[in-house]
Amino acid sequence: MARVCEQPAAGPAKAPPGAVTVDPSVVGDLAAKTESSPPNTTFWLRPGKHRLEPDRYAQVMPKEGNRYLGAPGAVLDGRKINQYAFSGTARKVTIRHLTVERFVAPHNEGVVNHDMADEWVIEHATVQYNSGAGLMAGARQQVRASCLRGNGQYGMNAYKTGDSIRGLVVEGNEIVGNNTDDWERRQPGCGCTGGIKFWAVDGADVRGNWVHDNRGAGLWADNNNNDFLIEDNVLDANDGAALMYETSYNAVIRNNVIRRNNWVEGRTYADQGDDFPYGTVYVSEAGGEPRVPARTDRIEIYRNVLENNWNGITLWEDADRFCNSPSNTSTGYCTLLVKDTDRCAQPAIAGAPLYGDCRWKTQRVDIHGNHFLLDPSVVKCTVECGRMAVLANDGTSPDWSPYRGKRVAEAITHEQQNRWHDNVYRGPWSFVADGPGRKLDAGQWQGTPYRQDAGSTFHPQAGG
């Protein structure tokens, strides 16, 4: 487990040969020396609190290839004055062994790599107690062995204006306690909270991280992400889902320990009388698509342990959410199969290929070899909190939609190759198919017409 927040690796106690030394007693020294030095300069920050000029737009603008190394105890402190720590478009910037804290980036913006430059390396860093996102991301960015803690919105917002992010690595980090500003309360339905949010990332390795106690989802991939490998993580005690994979494609999710997630949000919905099976692993309008190149053409979920979460894995499609529909919350975006959103209109959308290609489909999801453990006395649930689900709503709008009625519910449940098999269940699990009101026991789930969980074993008692 990546316990890097309380046990950070120490930086160099002496300046490396050729490095420019930065003095914490001189306000603005880091920004000034960065400006006056050539590209590919190494900066060594002495122990102590380093400060920028007391202007909200004061920031460090690295040059290509710059390296910033913190000595033990080196902190770049925004003092709740400065919005951004490191910005600009220079490539191949490295930040190691440095704490960056108390910056006040605006909503949806970030403190480190504010301008989403490519090929940055953030390693053995602590980015904490900032507003907005601790980090933004660019192509081929690597975030390793770092602590992303207590930031107001996200630990990292992996979003690049006007472009996709390719080749992102997030490895061995502790991502804890983010969304301290509780953005879902401030902007209900914003979908803008959690540990890390990924948007249009093509190729990501997310491995060996400890993602815990975030307000909202732990990891959330939203809108045209593709080719994710999510493995060997511990996803623990996040208020919402441990993992959301939404309107996206092709992923391998394996060898993760997923425990005690969704207790806050799941319980809140249940207390409101909402019987929807909000999943701890929530696959929403996302699936495998062979026409989108990736390391797999499925969403493969296997060899994970899910223990004492509020609900299990939910596969969902909103029948009213498709390109050019007012119910598409990713306004103006279409699938990776249709570039021109305006094509998704009558009469063409009613026939091939647009009928299939204008919607994000939950399809080709393969769930196997997992252990699902539930003890309701641990979760402290008195209502249903142990559900697996594959479902959709009835399509109702807009009036020209070709997906009205039960077409999408039939497709996700029976036609789109979504399959559970060879899993182990311990505890009082139940199953939901077609729509929220159709609750099944294990025998019904395995029987006709669903034929799910062939080869799986069921132990109704938690310790059975």
Check residue 95 and give its pLDDT.
98
Nearest-angstrom CA–CA distance, 413 and 415:
6
Check residue 203 and give its pLDDT.
98
307-360 pLDDT, tens digit per residue, is 999 999 999 999 999 999 999 988 889 999 999 999 999 999 999 999 999 999
Check residue 463 and give its pLDDT.
56
* Whether 133 contacts 113, CB under 8 Å: no
pLDDT-above-90 percentage for the chain = 92
Amino acid identity for residue 279 in this structure: G
Residue whose token pair is 């004055």: 81
* Whether 21 contacts 46, CB under 8 Å: yes
pLDDT at 374 over 80: yes
Q: Which residues pair with 390 in a beta bridge?
A: 315, 433
Nearest to 335 by CA among 369, 313, 361: 361
State the chain's mean pLDDT as an integer: 96
Pairing of strands 439-440, 430-434: antiparallel
Tokens of 130: 């900032």
Instruction: Give backbone dihedrals phi and psi of 53, rounded to 5 degrees, phi first.
Output: -60, 150
Pairing of strands 74-77, 48-51: parallel
Q: Quick check: bond before 347 cis, omega within 30?
A: yes
* Whether 441 contacts 431, CB under 8 Å: yes
pLDDT-above-70 percentage for the chain = 99
Tokens of 461: 């008692």
pLDDT at 2 over 90: no
Check residue 435 and give its pLDDT.
86
pLDDT at 144 over 80: yes
Q: Read off the pTM.
A: 0.97
Chain centroid offset of residue 2 CA: 18
Residue 37 burial class via C-beta count within 10 angstroms: exposed 0-12, middle 13-18, buried 19 and up: middle
* Fold type of domain 20-459: Pectate Lyase C-like (2.160.20)
Nearest-angstrom CA–CA distance, 163 and 93:
20
Task: Place 164 in a pLDDT band, splitting at 50, 70 and 90.
Answer: very high
438-462 pLDDT, tens digit per residue, is 899 999 999 999 999 999 999 988 7
DSSP states of 37-58: SPTT-EEEEPSEEEE--SSTT-
User: Span 112-130, mean pLDDT?
Assistant: 98
Check residue 464 and give its pLDDT.
47
Task: Please report, to the nearest 10 degrees, the dihedral formed by the alpha carbons of residues 131, 136, 141, 143 taken in order.
Answer: 20
Residues in the chain: 464
* Whether 212 contacts 236, CB under 8 Å: yes
Task: Place 190 in a pLDDT band, splitting at 50, 70 and 90.
Answer: confident
pLDDT at 198 over 90: yes
33-48 pLDDT, tens digit per residue, is 999 999 999 999 999 9
91-118 pLDDT, tens digit per residue, is 999 999 999 999 999 999 999 999 999 9
Domain-wise residue ranges, the chain? 20-459
Nearest-angstrom CA–CA distance, 119 and 139:
6
User: Span 172-195, mean pLDDT?
Assistant: 92
44-101 pLDDT, tens digit per residue, is 999 999 999 999 999 999 999 999 999 999 999 999 999 999 999 999 999 999 999 9
